[in-house]
Structure 1
């Protein structure tokens, strides 16, 4: 059984933008693994790391570029 390796492709501080990107990736059939982190020192500072399977990195980056430049 082979394990899928997940790669962080983007970090966002805006949860709405992160959700838009995640939804666009899901619509393209790309599985995501979002990781939400809050800073202990700055509770309002949110970091959402979007991870995808290694095999999907290139396609995911293309989709993200299209969404960010929209």
Structure 2
């Protein structure tokens, strides 16, 4: 584990493009792919390690989606 409690691969790209401080915007494909992979990896691990909380989170997501 890295200092600061982070594991995994570093996300680095020489072509990083700052789009703005918005949640929905990642400036380019390589950064989007790296962030997506990191989120998938860590979320999968958390869901496996916390099955009770995982059910509650997934249930809430599905319930909120049904309201839309």
Give the structure, 1 or 2, with the largest relative contact order (CA under 8 Å, sep 6 or more).
1
Greater Rg by CA: 2
TM-score normalised according to structure 1 size: 0.29
Question: When you count strand as a share of all residues, which structure comes out higher?
Answer: 1
Question: When you count helix as a share of all residues, which structure comes out higher?
Answer: 2
